Structure 1
């Protein structure tokens, strides 16, 4: 941001030099990069008056001028400008003068006459690009100006520009008035705001123009005012100087005033030739795909759809917030101008400006967000300047489409919290004085609590810590002691984070390699997994600005990433695949509403494929369902979550009959099984692929709820019994085991399945299950009768509940050695 020191002085009475102001702004958080002297980049150029001008013989355009430059004798100067005439006050470069670019003026003989200097145009002095004639100063010089006085001093051309490097959150300081507020706070001065008063006598604006906004999200406010009887011409010199200091080229009064107000109030404006607006209406709407218009740079623009277009009754006339169109351009023939001040969606403006390749000062401000409450104020300021300096007739009122004024932001500030965060000891009166200097409203709502009303132009302040930062920068960062805050705490992992870290270390101990994949996937993954049309995973969250189509949806499962990882490894002849991954999956809201935050679930996924490497004791077989089941059970037991159950289930992407649901007690956690052959083929995977996926949060909560399960070594011996039962193979083994544990009571400490047999002589449709049971009491040795009673209860429950009958029993006592 280029800040003109002279311009800034219009709002704040600065009694310090530019260097000191830059230093104070830097201490207040607005760091300056450099200070650039501008204007008056010449010497020896004085105010002079043309006394006489006669045509030079043998020349069709040169004139011999007698010029009073404040010396004893007039100067003879040859001039080729068409507007030279007696009585004209001019900028005269005397012999020895230096002009921008290093040109030095010397006496030269032309047509037999020695020219003793040069009468300068604005271009030759670096003021503007105007070189149509010599610079006429009659209406520019202040009263009391003496002939021979330095032109730069007489016209106050010299200025200093402070280049301020703004942080992204301070987009408000792209406006001079907001920067003046900062300068007033930094210097202790007061701010003077522009006078917006002017007469309106040109008819009701609402009767002359209608405005319609079809999408309030893209354009929450659109204000417009109309002026008549305008004459296009140059803008005032002081305005041209300020624009040049800010890095903008003066063009004409209408364009210059529009740019001046944008720089002053941080509100971009756009001007339309009212007569060229077909139907005398403005329609703000999204562009249709393939729609086209020609912008002011003469280029035909084709839109993808969704860009903000400003249209008249027949079609687009402006790319909203980016660039105007040729259809409504203000020209020298324009006599009526419609002035637009709007607030546009920052994301849409940024996307459009980047795609069209036409970023501008206006689009920059819209991207950072303008003060929506300031739109009509900026519009009135432009009309006031046009009335004052162009003599226009202002129409009455504005046409203002304002969808919903923003709710005023109020933030509570605790004095104690300020000092806790900063490690300071500021008194409440000091803090209130800072808030007052910033121009924020304040009210004490409780002892030690100040409610601060945030102005609409300070969009960066929404939280208490934002206000605390304001106190710090205004009081001075150097006043904050270099000590740790009293409430400083040592960071650390939460219990869940510690469990996750342990879980991953245990997975690595099981021989698994951790994979890390993007959270973004291709929408076609649902097809590769053979998911049914109504499967929840088909309702994915689409990314609004994806890097590519392959990463255009948020993942709802970790499996696609692992399957692609496996395919890449197999393609490179890595034939022993043991992968795991942990991360978030993202499930849309129940009604798939885009505005509702998705549910994020911490998940773990596993994949085994191929066969282990050959070892000294022979070639191992392929990985199978039980290989991964054992790993998952071991991980759950190792973190203390308890025993998992597995129950047959069906999943479209798993092999029928070789898949199971993973349960913790009766709570479903996920699934495990062999990948369906068709899915494996879709992912270009050969052979058997075993996968599992489960939610980690319930597992971790169970582990944390059980606490530390470590116990002393048992002091009393255990009694062991074997039990073999026969029954229907339709009953899940996990149900049999659960019934045994429940019936055995508190003294049953261990249940282990050690045999499953379903061959003859076992009848078809049945199977034999054999378990090793361990009974123990911590405080004494169990009697045979107690063990027999528990055993009998187990047999009775299995027979009554599942019709499983006792096949054979074996009883042996194994006292602990």
Structure 2
């Protein structure tokens, strides 16, 4: 949300700079994300001042030039050579000082410098309107009528002083601050400074006896639950045209484009007071009726953007006697809005139930300034005030007459929240004791009244626009955020019993450690949406653990289900980078996956699990003259996976073939009969699904299973003092036997002396047979208590060879 610094000053005195205001707002919970200077014209007339021509004589060497001295508020007047025919002594003029950069209406910008013109010194420039970007006339210099002192910045005279756009990261609970009034309320409280509301005392009904069809409209509310309050009035005799400069500048200062004077006023009041308004062309309201109701399911309705939408039976609509005119609180209709021919309007100001607007906005995928406010909860006491404010402004910019009484249908007024508060709970939650007087000052500044006050506490009467303050803790939070978190001192001592019990395995700490490990090995972390395309889950349906979690009101068909795997979000990230010529990629992601399962009793259980994914594609190293390009391979990913397992001190595991639905080839590592990671080459049909044109190696960790295996305790073993012994064997085995089977059998056969086993060569040839292969395997043997003897080594190797021959059908080659 954006607010204007100068606009805020209409509500409250702000001698503080925009940066200081930003710090104050952030301290109250309205986090300022940025402050941008807004200039009405390029340069903002910096270095341009008001001056007075003291003397003016003809240049002795140039008929069309004049020699002047100009008082610009400095000790000595400035000598300036001027070529304008209308320059004369006694004039108030616009002077660009030396060093000022001017941005003319046409042509390039230029800087004013000291100069000699036909031998005469000139230390500035008396300006025409086109020379400073205020118009197109170059007939002569600008002659001003003003009592402002010489040296006054010209921007002040022309009301062109720079504004500042303050960007606030508004949290969903603080919809009360989604306006300049709401923002000023927080400043009023934190600065303990009075705030002023715009006056509506001039509001008056001009004539209620007009014969024009727009003068009187019957208003009827059929759905009082979805529309608790509806107000409106008519204004006739209007002229639609371009908005005045002040109104356009206000809207531009917060990033809105002006449209016309009527629409601009409704937008202005929305951002001024936080109350959305809507103007209907009264001549287009059939039957002289405005009816607030729902319509049949599937009723077609064309909105302002020209799109035909099918209405839901729960969509609240503003209708006339014949047709729908507007989706209440969301979007106007194409055929009832203000146009250049509009001369009379029905101006609506209402309070719509947040749940109703939220459901409708999500159903149609519409997000507007109005729906943003209504679906979070506007002030039910604001519609009439905002209606009067808008009517007066419309009369100011478009003329016209207020031609009806205010219609105000409010059968069940919304009451303030009553929240009991105890002083001891305020002290306990804040951590210090704030004086009772300061507590009540803060609450009063926030429009929260205290009733039934006694020594123990009070009853807080919270205005209904504070939809987020309904509990005692909420009231205490209001006190603390205005009092200031920085004003709560830290304790000088920290008792052991004040610390929470920390988990033995801290998931955040482990996630940080793994993230640092991956980053150190050239991987980049990615963060992706949990929403995904149904087609992705469908592509690997048989390997998924459950059914899809489908959104009831998806923003689009492309984002309508929750992901059951991180695979496709990783692939989409790779595609995005590849399309931008980044071909050598390593990524990792921590993210949740979601599914649902049917239980035996027929109920549905929703499951949410944390996963860690790794993905690599492209070349192993950046292009270099030092080495040839080599594409990544399975073992590059397996090395990264092993480093993660080493971090968790997982040394032993079993393997099996990875899921062929996902992987063209690969392995799944199993610990304690549970899979902890699957890795391999992604099936080409899956990469093709996301339009990825190069191979991808991918690993998927069960993060929660990893954490269960994590140990924060380091294990230490004494360094063995006796040497290792290596023995090699060449085993001829069936092609279906893998190294994992050999390794597992060897460790089962020799548990005491065998330290490690490794394949250092693989051979396949015709002399072995079509279904045979040969593994050259090394065995490292070591005894921690003594030096191994030849006899012990031979016995060990004999047991291993016998096991390989009997269990695997191996032939030992000599």
**TM-score w.r.t. length of structure 2:** 0.51
What residue is the counterpart of 1:15 in the other structure? 15
What residue is the counterpart of 2:187 in the other structure? 183
In the TM superposition, residue 120 of structure 1 has moved relative to its aligned partner by: 5.5
What residue is the counterpart of 2:641 in the other structure? none
What residue is the counterpart of 2:30 in the other structure? 30
What residue is the counterpart of 2:510 in the other structure? none
What residue is the counterpart of 2:451 in the other structure? 443
Matched, 1:263 2:271: yes
Distance in 1 (CA, whole Å) between partners of 2:336 and 2:165 is 35
* CA pair 486-414 structure 1, distance change in 2 beyond 3 A: farther
| Root-mean-square deviation over aligned CA pairs | 4.6
What residue is the counterpart of 2:256 in the other structure? 248
Distance in 1 (CA, whole Å) between partners of 2:43 and 2:553 is 55
Secondary structure, in 3 states, of the residue corresponding to 2:335?
A: helix
1:170-569 alignment runs, 5 A limit? 170-197=174-201, 198-203=203-208, 208-483=216-491, 558-560=600-602
Distance in 1 (CA, whole Å) between partners of 2:225 and 2:599 is 33
Distance in 2 (CA, whole Å) between partners of 1:101 and 1:2 is 32
Secondary structure, in 3 states, of the residue corresponding to 2:381?
A: helix
Matched, 1:152 2:194: no
Distance in 1 (CA, whole Å) between partners of 2:495 and 2:105 is 56
Distance in 1 (CA, whole Å) between partners of 2:320 and 2:339 is 18
What residue is the counterpart of 2:512 in the other structure? none
Deviations 1:787-806 (Å, cap 9, x if unpaired)? xxxxxxxxxxxxxxxxxxxx
In the TM superposition, residue 559 of structure 1 has moved relative to its aligned partner by: 2.5
* CA pair 44-403 structure 1, distance change in 2 beyond 3 A: closer
* CA pair 247-207 structure 1, distance change in 2 beyond 3 A: closer
Question: Are 1:44 and 1:96, in contact at CA under 8 Å, matched by a contact in 2?
Answer: no
Deviations 1:125-154 (Å, cap 9, x if unpaired)? 7xxxxx9x889xxxxx99547999866332
Distance in 1 (CA, whole Å) between partners of 2:321 and 2:131 is 44
Distance in 1 (CA, whole Å) between partners of 2:131 and 2:339 is 24
* CA pair 8-561 structure 1, distance change in 2 beyond 3 A: closer
Question: Are 1:411 and 1:451, in contact at CA under 8 Å, matched by a contact in 2?
Answer: yes
Of 162, 174, 179, the residue aligned with 2:166 is: 162
Question: Are 1:44 and 1:93, in contact at CA under 8 Å, matched by a contact in 2?
Answer: no
Question: Are 1:93 and 1:119, in contact at CA under 8 Å, matched by a contact in 2?
Answer: no
Secondary structure, in 3 states, of the residue corresponding to 1:431?
A: helix
* CA pair 146-190 structure 1, distance change in 2 beyond 3 A: closer
In the TM superposition, residue 308 of structure 1 has moved relative to its aligned partner by: 2.0
Structure 2 unaligned spans of 5+: 51-67, 71-79, 87-92, 113-125, 139-143, 504-549, 555-559, 563-595, 608-814
Distance in 1 (CA, whole Å) between partners of 2:173 and 2:44 is 45
* CA pair 491-9 structure 1, distance change in 2 beyond 3 A: same
Distance in 1 (CA, whole Å) between partners of 2:477 and 2:499 is 20
Of 95, 103, 128, the residue aligned with 1:98 is: 103
Distance in 2 (CA, whole Å) between partners of 1:147 and 1:231 is 40
Answer with 1 or 2: which has the greater Rg: 1
Question: Are 1:203 and 1:395, in contact at CA under 8 Å, matched by a contact in 2?
Answer: yes
Deviations 1:23-71 (Å, cap 9, x if unpaired)? 11111211111111002452386799xxxxxxxxxxxxxxxxxxx9x98
**TM-score w.r.t. length of structure 1:** 0.51
Distance in 1 (CA, whole Å) between partners of 2:400 and 2:350 is 22
Deviations 1:561-602 (Å, cap 9, x if unpaired)? 69999xxxxxxxxxxxxxxxxxxxxxxxxxxxxxxxxxxxxx
Question: Are 1:93 and 1:120, in contact at CA under 8 Å, matched by a contact in 2?
Answer: no
Distance in 2 (CA, whole Å) between partners of 1:39 and 1:100 is 15
The number of residue pairs the alignment matches comes to 469
1:749-768 alignment runs, 5 A limit? none
* CA pair 409-98 structure 1, distance change in 2 beyond 3 A: same
Secondary structure, in 3 states, of the residue corresponding to 2:26?
A: helix
Question: Are 1:243 and 1:260, in contact at CA under 8 Å, matched by a contact in 2?
Answer: yes
In the TM superposition, residue 391 of structure 1 has moved relative to its aligned partner by: 3.0
Distance in 2 (CA, whole Å) between partners of 1:323 and 1:564 is 35
Distance in 2 (CA, whole Å) between partners of 1:427 and 1:563 is 50
Question: Are 1:7 and 1:242, in contact at CA under 8 Å, matched by a contact in 2?
Answer: yes
Deviations 1:625-646 (Å, cap 9, x if unpaired)? xxxxxxxxxxxxxxxxxxxxxx
Secondary structure, in 3 states, of the residue corresponding to 1:227?
A: strand
Distance in 2 (CA, whole Å) between partners of 1:96 and 1:445 is 63
* CA pair 442-393 structure 1, distance change in 2 beyond 3 A: same
Task: Pick which of 302-311 and 21-30 moved more.
Answer: 302-311
